[in-house]
Every structure is written in C-alpha cells, then in structure tokens.
Amino acid sequence: MGFAPANPAQDQMAQQPTLDMDLAPGETPRTTRVLLPLALPGAYDYLVPDDLDLRLGDFVRVPLGPREVTGVVWDPLPDTVETKPIDPARLKAVVSRFDAPPMPDMLRQFVDWVAAYTLSAPGAVLRLAMRVPQALEPSPRVTGYRLSGHKPARMTPKRERVLEMLHDTGPELARPAREIADMAGVGTGVVKGLVDAGALEAVDMPGEAPFPEPLAAPAGSAAGASRLNDTQAQAAADLAQRIGQGFSATLLDGVTGAGKTEVYFEAIAEALRQGRQVLVLLPEIALTPQLLKRFETRFGAAPAPWHSDLGQKERRRIWRGVAEGRARVVVGARSALFLPFTELGLIVVDEEHEAAFKQEEGVIYNARDMAVARASLGGFPVVLASATPSLETVVNVQRGRYQRLVLPERHGAARLPDVEAVDLRADAPERGRWLSHRLVMAIGDTLAAGNQAMLFLNRRGYAPLTLCRTCGHRFECPNCDAWLVEHRFRKELQCHHCGTRAPTPHACPECGTENSLAACGPGVERIAEEAAERFPEARLAVLSSDLLHGPAATQEAMAQITRQEVDLVIGTQVVAKGHNFPNLTLVGVVDSDLGLTGGDLRAAERTYQLLHQVAGRAGRGEKPGRVLLQTYMPHHKVMQALIAGDRDRFLEQEADERHAAGMPPFGRLVSVILSGPEQGQVMDVARELVRAAPQAEGVRVLGPAPAPIALLRGRHRMRFLLKTVRDFPVQKYVRAWLGAVKVPNAVRLAVDVDPQSFL
Ligand SMILES: [Zn+2]
Ligand SMILES: [Zn+2]
C-alpha cells in the first residue's frame, strides 16, 4: 500500500555484495520476479542461475538481506503495486527451486485479486497460501512390507495370523511393519522374523496415508440421491446441472433439517464425476465431525478436513494432496480458500451468513465473498447455503446476480417450534435473578415430563462487570477500554478482548474493603448457579468456550446431551448450531435483547440469525418444541419475526431501512482504523488523513472518532468510516487517500473493506 519504504529489498541488498555472475560482454542476465510472503509493498527481481529453469508459480529460495526466504515466481504485479526496476548488476540470484508442484495460476490470480480488493500487500495474502512450509519438501518415504509368495520354513500361530491377515486384506498391498503388527495383533518382532525368513518383501512406499477416493455414485439404495424427496431431488438436479457450466452463484435456502446438505452433496457428486476437486467451507470447526460423518456415509470415504487444530504432519499431507490432486474434497475453515487446488470445480459455503467467515486480523477478508470471487476467477459454480441468509446474499438474488433454490419442508417428522415472547416488563425476575416465572414453570414442566431443556445466554463468564459496593470501583482491563469479566468457576477476572487474567481479589484494590465486590449482570455461569438452586435435582451441563477445551471436548459434551445424561443445558453460542438433540423440547433465551444494543449495522440481522438458530434446537426429534424469548422489547421486529416465523418479512423491513440509509448492501462501507501506543501520535495521523481526503462524488469520509474500544491491547484506536454509493471505486479512492499520508512506524493503519465489526 506504499507505507513501507519504497523498495526495502534494494536497501537490504545494498548492505551485501552481490553474487558474481559470469556474463559475456553485452549479455543480459535472466531475471525473474519473486513474490515473498511478507507484508512488503511489492515483489522483487532476482537473477536466474544458468542451471535453473523456472516457471510461474515455482517455489524458490532467495536471499533477502542476511537471510534466505521462500517465495513464489510471480507475474508482473498489477500496476497498483510499486516495483522499481533495479540495475541487474545489483541483483542477487535465486538460490534453489523446491521440488514441489508450482502454485497454480488460479491461486496466484486469486492472491492478487484478494490483495487488490482488501487493500493488503500481495505478500501478506501470499502468506495465507504458504502456511505449510514443510509441504514444499519431498514426501517422506518409508519401508513397507508385502507377501513375497514364499512360505517361511518355520511356522508359528502368530506368523500364520500375519500371513492370513495380509492375504485377506490385499496381498499386493505394502504396509509399514507397525501397521501389519497392529492389524494382526502381534509384536513387530513377528513381522521382522517373517521378513528374515523371506515370507515378506520390503518395498519403498509413501510415508503418508493415501486419500480414499469419494464415490460419486451413491453407495447403496439407502444412501445418496434416492433418499431425497421430490423438492430436494429437483434442487439437487438443478445444482448438478450447473457443474462444468462456468461461473454461477446459487443460494440454497432452507430451514434447518430441510436437507440442504444432502442436496449440495449431489452437486459435489457431479463435480467428482467430472473429475473436479471440491471445497466445502464451514464457519466452525466444531461442526466438522458431524458433517465429515455424513459425508462419509454418502461418499464412502471421508473428505480431507482443514482447520486450525490439525497437526503439522496432517497439514503437510493435505496441502500436498490438494496440490497433487490426490485430495478430491476438502471440508475446511476459511483458510482452506488458499489451498493450492489445481482442479477446483465447486465451492460450497455452508452457513453463509456466519460472521465467523470474516477474518478480522492481518489480511481482513470475508471468506464467503472471497469464495464467490475465487469461483468467478476460476469459472465454476459456488453454492451458498443457509437457513437465514444474509441480507447481502438475498439482495444479490433480487438483483439477479445469484440464483436461488428454496427447500421449504422439514425433512422427516420434526416440526418447527412454537416461539413466544416473555415480556420482562410484566414478568420480571426477582432481584439478582434472571429467569422469569413463566420460564421457570416451563422448565419445571419439561423436566417433569422427562424431556431436556436448554437455556441460552450469549455471554461467557459469571458477570460482565464487577464493582466494589463500598467505593464504586469498577474492574477495568489495564490494556483495553473494557471491563474485566468475572469467571467464578476459575476464580479469576478476565478481559475478553486481550485475554488479560487476574485472580479475583478478596479485597477491593481501591479502598481495601474485604468482601465488598459485587457482580453486575449475568453471564452463563451465573445462570447455571440460579438453575442449580431452582432445579437441584436436575443434571446440568454448562457449555461455553471457556469451559470446553477444543473440538473433542465439545463433541463429548454434545454426545452426553444426546445420550440424555443431562437434563438442563446452559450455554453460549457453542450450543446454538448443528446439533440434534431429539429429546430437547424447550429452549429459553435468557436475554433476547443482548445483541440489539450497540448500534451495529447488522445488530438486528445477527440477532435474528442467532436466535433463529438457537430456537431450532427445540423439537428436532418427534416431540414438538417450544421456545421462550425473555425480552424487554416484545414488539421489536426481531421478536415479532421469530414469533410469527416470518423471515422474509423481516428481511424486507431490514432491506427497506438499509436502503433508506444508503447502508450495505445498498451502499458500501470501508473502515480505516488507526492504532498506536501514543494517543497524540495517533491523533496527528488522523488529522493528516482528514486533510488528505480527496473530494469525490458519492463518498463521505466520517470521522475520525475514537473507536468504541478506544484502547485495545495497549494501543489507542481511532476510526474513519467511508460511506459510498454502491458503484463507487472504493479501492482506488482509499489507495490514493492513504498513499498521500506518511504514517510513522509506531502507528498501524488497518483497512477493513465491507466491515462486519465496528468496534
Ligand atoms: Zn472499593
Ligand atoms: Zn484487555
């Protein structure tokens, strides 16, 4: 973006002597341009040694100052990126080329596109595509063993077991000694003995597990397309028809349980039939095990998963498998978009409305939108699935840019739950309590009938604010403009923005009074405390990200609920989605208004989506479900829409309001966030930016204003908000604007195109 020195490579190179190249007089050396995975403004030129042949996309080692780094042989960059021609005599040479598949053209184009769209340095985006450096090294090889055809001179029962097992499970197949031993239930010594006796022969084989091939045709009559009802079959056929027919974007719109997954599985099957790779993007890794299972049932093989919890070995295996076309289907979180697919022919974005698709740090991008861009660049279809599609997507359908397939019915016996509001103005809980009389009665009835109930509150910890009853002291984070949240189960105060933790003190640090601290407001742990008092017989489970460590723990907690080892579930948004609890018939939302405060552009939309999802937890089995929304605003459009089950009317109202205000998706927004350790310095830059803002038709620069979280991790923050008409060339404007101001190193400037968060 032009904030760093114009050409740092040149500066660095000046410090070191260049390599001597043997050039005949008048001969021009071969050079190549290499993009490095660093947040630098441009790409660098390097000399190509005579014995090296380089293609676009090749991964290479190159010198950069005193060290060596890995980069990618790149196209000339778009003219928005600065690169100065350098005198070849000063260039350094490429050190070596990796023996790895080159980065596919489509991925390089995508990296450039994302960089231009998000106003990021191309190298910073490239870094997202180079997260697995080990994958550039050759695949490890191991020694495997298979039957040689010779009988050993001496036979023992254990040896016989090994030979029989190998014979039955594929005599041609080589396996590592450990695996053979495990499969036959013997020690590795037995396998070694058979090798020495000449009954097994050694074979050099890949050291990584292969990728089982998903089968496009349904495994049996009970699986696949034959299970679909008429509407679903029609939608599946519609989607499948689009595979191989160039770019298209389709909204697959259906309530939870309407069979969206089964329908897009058939589009995946068609892509596989056509020899294409497929990417399924999911917002949460917690969802993955369930989806992987369903996928395996349909396709006879698990897809390759991609998420932050994978170990290094598995990452390497999958990255390389994708690059070499051996991994056909990947199910992953947003970073899977940057995997080196060579034959990608379909992307499915499940739960497309989820805010979790937005990457909020580093390169700030929305994986849903970038998936559409990647499909468009690659000329293949993208499917966006949701029960509560985002207003952006709905408006794209109305504009004719996206197609829409609707799945109206619920699959099987489950019915939509009855939703009622509990007006807290009329039915207020007692002081220090949070559950209304009506909700308590409903829980009692549910438990008495032998069913399960769930209480939902999207707030971690015990209380959002702790203060001293004697002097009024409030516990604030020293690094952030935020209160410390009490986590009573862990006996500590925690900042939810920077993670700062401190043990909860006995005495007020301000006035020294003991036992004077008071908790204000409820968190999920406090609701659990009240529930335990009110229903002492009930078996409770508290589910929140603080208390569940990792996806495995989450899965286990979900399994306990399914096995009915729990009567009353109390949880944050970790319980909101994806899980089927057939015996859960009541959902109580403790504070339905929580997400509506704060003036976020999408507050109503988000609250609707979240509460709709939570409500869907009730009555997923044969029993009817009931949902109680505790609210001070029973007439708010969100509550009314949930009660009436009228999503489309809500979306219309929402669209009308945004249209009138010129807000997305009818206008565009870009946030520019300045931050730095010194407030004065940040304000100076902000003033400079105000002066430098170019005048243009269709754009308004709002701000600077202190960000709602004006102090975060010790940095002072100020925001600008650009509001433009829809067809405004936002990127060009921002590039010109920010390029005109010199920003000191201590001040960071983050640009968020199409912001989701306004904190
Ligand atoms: Zn005090
Ligand atoms: Zn903090």
Cβ-based neighbours of 41, under 8 Å, separated by 6 or more: 1, 2, 3, 4, 6, 7, 81, 82, 121
Q: How far is the CA of 466 from the centre of ligand 2 (A)?
A: 15
CA distances from 58 to 137, 413, 743 (A): 13, 54, 35
Q: Which residue matches tokens 């604030």?
A: 476
Looking at residue 613, its pLDDT comes to 87
CA distances from 46 to 2, 37, 136, 514, 679 (A): 21, 16, 20, 68, 41
Of all ligands present, the nearest one to the C-alpha of 484 is 2
Q: How far is the CA of 478 from the centre of ligand 2 (A)?
A: 7
Q: Bridge-partner residues for 514, per DSSP?
A: 507
Looking at residue 412, its pLDDT comes to 53
Q: Which residue matches tokens 């760093």?
A: 4
Q: How far is the CA of 523 from the centre of ligand 1 (A)?
A: 22
CA 149 to chain centre: 51
Of all ligands present, the nearest one to the C-alpha of 516 is 1
Q: How far is the CA of 499 from the centre of ligand 2 (A)?
A: 6
Of all ligands present, the nearest one to the C-alpha of 713 is 2
Q: How far is the CA of 689 from the centre of ligand 2 (A)?
A: 28
Assess contact for 43 and 82: CB atoms under 8 A. no
Calpha distance 118→101 (Å, rounded): 27
CA 565 to chain centre: 31
Q: How far is the CA of 159 from the centre of ligand 2 (A)?
A: 63
Strand blocks (E) in 222-306: 248-254, 277-281, 304-306
Give the predicted TM-score (pTM) of the model: 0.86
Q: How far is the CA of 607 from the centre of ligand 2 (A)?
A: 25
Calpha distance 499→479 (Å, rounded): 10
Looking at residue 10, its pLDDT comes to 38
Q: How far is the CA of 467 from the centre of ligand 1 (A)?
A: 8
Assess contact for 629 and 419: CB atoms under 8 A. yes
Assess contact for 676 and 746: CB atoms under 8 A. yes
Q: Which residue matches tokens 């044969």?
A: 622
Q: Tell me whether residue 28 is exposed, middle or buried, using C-beta atoms within 10 angstroms of its C-beta: 0 to 12, 13 to 18, 19 or more.
A: exposed
Calpha distance 133→131 (Å, rounded): 6
Residue type for position 227 = R
Q: How many other CB atoms are there within 10 angstroms of residue 504's CB atom?
A: 18
Calpha distance 141→74 (Å, rounded): 31
Q: How far is the CA of 259 from the centre of ligand 2 (A)?
A: 42
Tokens of 707: 């960000």
Looking at residue 11, its pLDDT comes to 39
Q: Tell me whether residue 71 is exposed, middle or buried, using C-beta atoms within 10 angstroms of its C-beta: 0 to 12, 13 to 18, 19 or more.
A: buried
Q: How far is the CA of 709 from the centre of ligand 2 (A)?
A: 10
Q: How far is the CA of 708 from the centre of ligand 2 (A)?
A: 14
Residue 627 sits at φ, ψ, to 5 deg, of -130, 130
Quick: pLDDT tens for 423-476: 999 999 998 899 999 999 999 999 999 999 999 999 999 998 899 999 999 998
Of all ligands present, the nearest one to the C-alpha of 498 is 2
Backbone angle region of 78, left / alpha / beta, with phi > 0 → left and psi within -120 to 50 → alpha: beta
Q: How far is the CA of 476 from the centre of ligand 2 (A)?
A: 8
Assess contact for 618 and 585: CB atoms under 8 A. yes
Residue 51 sits at φ, ψ, to 5 deg, of -85, 10
Residues of the chain with pLDDT under 70: 1-28, 76-86, 218-226, 284-288, 409-415, 551, 577-578, 598-599
Cβ-based neighbours of 150, under 8 Å, separated by 6 or more: 198, 199
Of all ligands present, the nearest one to the C-alpha of 467 is 1
Q: Are strands 329-332 and 277-281 parallel, antiparallel or unpaired?
A: parallel
Residues whose beta carbons lie less than 5 angstroms from ion ligand 2: 477, 479-480, 495, 497-498, 500
Calpha distance 109→357 (Å, rounded): 21
CA distances from 199 to 165, 357, 362 (A): 13, 54, 57
Quick: pLDDT tens for 559-577: 899 899 999 999 998 887 6
Q: The dihedral of CA 395, 400, 403, 409: what is its sign?
A: positive
Backbone angle region of 77, left / alpha / beta, with phi > 0 → left and psi within -120 to 50 → alpha: beta
Q: Which of 646, 574, 642, 621 lies closest to 257, judged by CA?
A: 621
Looking at residue 223, its pLDDT comes to 45
Which 3 state secondary structure label does DSSP give 727?
coil
Q: How far is the CA of 504 from the centre of ligand 1 (A)?
A: 14
Assess contact for 376 and 248: CB atoms under 8 A. no
Q: How far is the CA of 710 from the centre of ligand 2 (A)?
A: 11
Q: How far is the CA of 643 from the centre of ligand 2 (A)?
A: 38
Of all ligands present, the nearest one to the C-alpha of 512 is 1
Strand blocks (E) in 27-184: 31-35, 44-47, 59-64, 67-73, 96-97, 141-147
Looking at residue 85, its pLDDT comes to 62
How many helices, marked H, and strands, marked E, lie in the chain?
A: 20, 31
Of all ligands present, the nearest one to the C-alpha of 507 is 1
161-166 contacts: CB < 8 A, separation 24 or more?
A: 161/185, 161/186, 162/186, 162/190, 162/191, 162/194, 163/194, 163/199, 166/200
Q: How far is the CA of 462 from the centre of ligand 2 (A)?
A: 17
Q: The dihedral of CA 702, 706, 708, 712: what is its sign?
A: positive
CA distances from 216 to 187, 276, 300, 409 (A): 39, 11, 9, 26
Q: How far is the CA of 518 from the centre of ligand 1 (A)?
A: 10
Q: How far is the CA of 496 from the centre of ligand 2 (A)?
A: 7
CA distances from 580 to 287, 331, 414, 739, 756 (A): 12, 20, 11, 52, 29
Q: How far is the CA of 118 from the centre of ligand 2 (A)?
A: 27
Of all ligands present, the nearest one to the C-alpha of 497 is 2
Residue 313 sits at φ, ψ, to 5 deg, of -65, -45
Q: How many other CB atoms are there within 10 angstroms of residue 738's CB atom?
A: 19
Of all ligands present, the nearest one to the C-alpha of 475 is 1
CA distances from 686 to 74, 574, 696 (A): 35, 39, 19
Calpha distance 236→269 (Å, rounded): 10
Q: How far is the CA of 500 from the centre of ligand 2 (A)?
A: 6
CA distances from 391 to 155, 233, 353, 579 (A): 71, 27, 8, 25
Tokens of 123: 């190298």
Calpha distance 488→326 (Å, rounded): 49
Residue type for position 242 = R
Residue type for position 21 = M
Q: How far is the CA of 503 from the centre of ligand 2 (A)?
A: 15
Q: How far is the CA of 573 from the centre of ligand 2 (A)?
A: 22
Strand blocks (E) in 533-617: 540-543, 568-571, 584-589
Residues whose beta carbons lie less than 5 angstroms from ion ligand 1: 468, 470-471, 473, 508, 510-511
Backbone angle region of 386, left / alpha / beta, with phi > 0 → left and psi within -120 to 50 → alpha: beta
Residue type for position 139 = S
Residue 299 sits at φ, ψ, to 5 deg, of -105, 0
Q: Which of 62, 54, 51, 70 lies closest to 137, judged by CA?
A: 70
Cβ-based neighbours of 593, under 8 Å, separated by 6 or more: 631, 632, 633, 636
Q: How far is the CA of 748 from the centre of ligand 2 (A)?
A: 18
Calpha distance 181→145 (Å, rounded): 11
Which 3 state secondary structure label does DSSP give 403?
strand
Q: How far is the CA of 713 from the centre of ligand 2 (A)?
A: 6
Q: How far is the CA of 97 from the centre of ligand 2 (A)?
A: 44
